Structure 1
Amino acid sequence: MSPIEIGYLAIVALLVLIYIGMPIGIGMLFVSYLAVAGIRGEAVSLRMLGAVANDSLREYLFAVVPLFVLMGLLVTISQVGKDTFDVFQRLLRRVTAGLGIATVFANAVFASITGISIASATVFSRVAVPEMTRHGYTKKFATGVVAGSSVLGMLIPPSLLMIVYAVLAEESVGRMFLAGVGPGILLSLAFTVTILLLARLRPDFVFETDTDHSANQEVSGLDMLRKSVPIASLMLVVLGGLYGGFLNPTEAGAAGALGALVIALLRRSLTLRLFWNLLVDAGQITVSVLFLILAATFFSRMLALSGVPRALAEFFLTGPIGSYGFLAVFLLLVIALGCLIDSISIMLILLPIALPVASAAGFDLIWFGVLTVVAVEVGLLTPPFGLSVYIIKSAMNDPDLRIGEIFRGAFPFVLAMFVCIALIVAFPPIATWLARL
């Protein structure tokens, strides 16, 4: 067999192994090892595996992964998410469907210090959904808002997916974080407009009855200040330090983790045993992410050796499809895979194949990365996988709440995400202007 035939066979074999249940990291290493052995021999394959393990994980940059993960876990247990929701609930209490909009903006702010969609879905399903249903909103709408706005955690910096993309595309993590700001704001505004349109055009979708659904709970100014200070302080330390040029991404993660630890200790929400459990969780998440990056790096080098990316670039860019045809096919494939497998796995499978083609097409890889992350996040809301939906169902622990009901509630936000993808394609500066300053 020729190298390119081995490369195509390796891609098919990987998809089959994932379908039958093999962990993606192990599947990538196994397939890549056999493919390189078939192209260059077993000795070369062993040497390449060792080189990949050394080259892909020794970077100082990778310390950012455990630090941001630990910060997100500490923030989650210290009730900062609840306080953020309370502040926005107070500010938007006189707006129609104000609790829904408060959930979106609280999630956006919470995302700016956690970077993990699962954390947002877990926190706000327990905080926002009971409050919204108490004020007359339907469970379908309440859970749909939480599911939809939870995707902001992977777009608004700091973002774990942005870090993974930056590593695979060899782009600056700081620039990728900056690139997520504009699209994150756009997505937040799109969700807000969606909520207002639903409240006006489909009130039965949003409200249980026709009464006034604004939350009138009064919160004192002093209480508002007390609840605002922790989140504002963390944002100032992490984002201010990062974008002000005082801290690099790894240092910003360390400062954020320390700040989150201080907040948790001051609020007495952290015991020694709980802290140990959080460290173990952060370690497990970090190891799994880094192992996947190692496997994806080996897979990427195998594909480059086989010549598959070069052949695909020639097919897409010299044929009738063209560069934007390739982009459309890629985004549709990402969204389709999002219905079946998790976000990081999609990126690790497709990006080693797609990045060389995108580069040959002359695309800005930062812009391409933002589009990839938004398209990947659509998969968090679509059946049958819909990770955010299942997280909400698990966190709610409500036997009367059906999975299908949450998916229907999230559907308008999926449409809003499609609109945002179209806008970012049509107007690339939304993603690139801040990053390229």
Structure 2
Amino acid sequence: MTASVLVPFAILLALLGSGVWVGLGLSGIGILSLEIFRNVPVEKLLAQSIWNGLSSPELLALPLFILMAELLFRTKFIDGVFSALDPWLRNLPGGLLHTNIFGCALFALISGSSAATTSSIGRITVPELRARGYEERLVVGTLAGAGTLGFLIPPSIIMIVYGVLSQTSVLQLFAAGILPGLLLALCFVGYVIIRAKLTPSVVGAVEPIERRALWALRLSGLPRLLPFLVLILAVLGSMYGGIASPTEAAAFAVFATVVIMAFEKSLSVRTLRDAAIGTSRTVSMLGLIIASASFLTMAMGFLGMPRAVSDFVNGLDLSPLMLIGLLIVVYIVLGSFLEGMSIIVMTIPIVLPLVTAAGYDSLWFGIFLILMVELAQISPPVGMNLFVLQGLTRKPLGEIVRAALPFFIIMLLFVLTIAVFPGIVSVIPDLVKAG
């Protein structure tokens, strides 16, 4: 490894360790490294890369999906999720623990944010499951694992960022995330069923309901899920039906959300103001990170860092699966110290060429990377979902980490599965192309 590769890493550690904003830290690495090792007009490169990074048409969908998530967080119809899912899931082994998994999967289909998914579903299900005597650790664990589906099941905010930075079709990424997201949710369901069979005490009391009355409850609860269906059709239906681009679908989804809020009488000036403020903060943060990542990518190219790292890894003579195993270890370590968006923007320029050279495409790597970011969401000490759950449950962080551990392992095994069987990722995108 040359000095032009090692010094930027040292600058990275120094800047992030000093508490500098991630966005400023990324651009700082590029500026200082170019000033030290290259005689180039840094200010011109900075201006050009920021313009190129933020002028992508695909980024227009980002603030709209974030606005939709902010609005959804303030709606009332989410409160009916538990009562609507209750009669459908109560007879499964594990009972109402499955409401965490199915509720998060439903919300992920319209949200795009892991933290928003965990918080929105958790504020409803945690008190209900506690009151019914379900084991606290499994309640927290299912919510920790299933909450991460907000990144994987489209529409996903983080998929848009990855698509822009890697020049991968956002629509294809959305399609690629559907099957892995649903399969991962089923893995969580399977684990809960096994736990409930082996240890029946983890399941709380469920009042028996006569068959005819149970079906009446199931049918009467379906209207509470109607807003979810409307928004799913507005987002995914319009995109894959060829009616709208991701940006147009996001705009239509925001409009549909506002109409639903007006219908349920939760729309107000204060709600719109709070959602707009939350959106502005998130978009500003992401904009700074994306702009800085674009400059850092350009700076790495001038420094020859991707080629140097590629030559070093190639010299190790790793098989494709060994390379993926190495990357899993690296990303788990990074996830213990950095949040997901930072991990993506920092590693794409270096890692993507390695993975494609090993025979995987950028679409597969996008899903792999999002799964690793999901693992980071429940990795101590900075996993965002862990802090969301701590706020919801008022439990010590150590207890929440222990509760999330089985689901961390399930997700890790799932990552290895898609590495061995990469076709899982490409099934639905291929069908979309064929259609």
Query: TM-score, normalised to structure 1's length?
Result: 0.93
Q: Is residue 87–residue 218 contact of structure 2 (8 Å, CA) maintained in 1?
A: no
Q: How many Å apart are 1:274 and its aligned residue?
A: 2.0
Shifted more, 253-262 versus 218-227: the winner is 218-227
Give 2:423's aligned amino acid. P
- 2:18 equivalent to 1:20: yes
Which amino acid is 2:14 matched to?
V
Alignment of 1:261-340 (within 5 A): 261-340=258-337
Partner letter of residue 283 of structure 1?
S
When structure 1 is superposed on structure 2, of 157-166 and 326-335 the one drifting more is 326-335
Match of residue 420 from structure 2:
426
Matched to 1:235, the amino acid is I
Give the number of aligned pairs. 427
**Which letter maps to 2:18?**
I
The letter for the 1-side match of 2:62 is V
3-state SS of paired residue (2:300): helix
Match of 1:32 among 30, 38, 45: 30
Q: Supply the distance in 1 between the matched residues of 2:359 and 2:222 (Cα, whole angstroms).
A: 48
Taking structure 1 as reference, are residues 411 and 73 closer, same or farther at Cα in structure 2, changes over 3 Å only? same
Deviates more, 1:105-114 or 1:309-318: 309-318
- Counterpart CA distance in 2 for 1:260 and 1:148 is 26
Of 83-92 and 117-126, deviating more is: 83-92
In the alignment, the residues of structure 2 paired with residue 305 and residue 359 of structure 1 have an alpha-carbon distance, to the nearest angstrom, of 21
**Percent pairwise identity:** 30
Name the residue aligned to 2:153. 156
SS at match of 1:253: helix
Within the candidate set 390, 400, 406, 1:412 is matched to 406
For residues 279 and 215 of structure 1, do their structure 2 counterparts lie closer, same or farther at Cα, with a shift above 3 Å needed? farther
Q: How do 1:35-434 and structure 2 match up within 5 A?
A: 35-41=33-39, 44-204=41-201, 206-207=202-203, 212-213=205-206, 220=217, 223-396=220-393, 398=394, 401-434=395-428
Q: Is the 8 A contact 1:136 1:213 kept in 2?
A: no
For 2:198 and 2:206, how far apart are their aligned partners in 1? 16
Q: Could you list the per-position Cα deviations for residues 170-210 of structure 1 after superposition, in whole angstroms to 9, with x for gaps in the alignment?
A: 10000111110111011001000010111122345x246xx
User: 2:265 is paired with a residue of what secondary structure?
Assistant: coil
Partner SS, residue 357 of structure 1? helix
Indicate how the Cα distance of structure 1 residues 15 and 326 shifts in structure 2: closer, same or farther if over 3 A, else same: farther
**CA distance in 2 between partners of 1:14 and 1:202 (Å):** 47
Alpha-carbon displacement from aligned partner over 1:243-269 (angstroms, at most 9, x marks no partner): 112111111111111111111111111
Distance 1:5 1:213 in 2: 64
Answer whether contact 2:4 2:37 (CA < 8 A) is retained: yes
Report the residue type matching 1:334 in the other structure: Y
In the TM superposition, what is the alpha-carbon distance from 1:61 to its structure 2 partner?
1.3
CA distance in structure 2 between the aligned counterparts of 1:430 and 1:322, rounded to whole angstroms: 20
The structural deviation recorded for 1:290 is 1.5
Which region of structure 1 is more displaced relative to structure 2, 158-167 or 12-21?
12-21
C-alpha displacement at 1:222, in angstroms? 6.2
Partner SS for 1:158: coil
Q: Which moved more, 1:266-275 or 1:293-302?
A: 266-275
Query: How far, CA to CA, are the matches of 2:386 and 2:87 in structure 1?
Result: 27
Of 170-179 and 137-146, more deviation after overlay is shown by: 137-146
Residues 354-392 of structure 1, C-alpha deviations (whole Å, 9 max, x = no match):
112223333211111111111111111122222112112
Please list every run of 5 or more consecutive structure 2 residues that lacks an aligned counterpart in the other structure: none
CA contact (8 A) 2:104 2:146 kept: yes
Q: Which secondary structure state, in structure 2, belongs to the residue aligned with residue 340 of structure 1?
A: coil
Q: Distance in 1 between matches of 2:140 and 2:323?
A: 35
SS in structure 2 of the partner of residue 125 of structure 1: helix
Give the secondary structure class of the aligned counterpart of 2:428: coil
Alpha carbons of 1:156 and 1:29: their partners in 2 closer, same or farther (altered >3 Å)? Answer: same
Q: Which residue, 7, 11, 14 being the options, matches 2:9?
A: 11
**Is the 2:5–2:308 contact (alpha carbons within 8 Å) kept by the matching residues of 1?**
no
1:308 Cα deviation (Å)?
1.4
Letter in 2 for 1:35: S
Q: Give the deviation of 1:215 after TM superposition.
A: 7.8
CA distance in 2 between partners of 1:103 and 1:268 (Å): 26
The alpha-carbon deviation at position 404 of structure 1 amounts to: 2.0
Residues 73 and 278, structure 1, Cα contact 8 Å, conserved in 2: yes
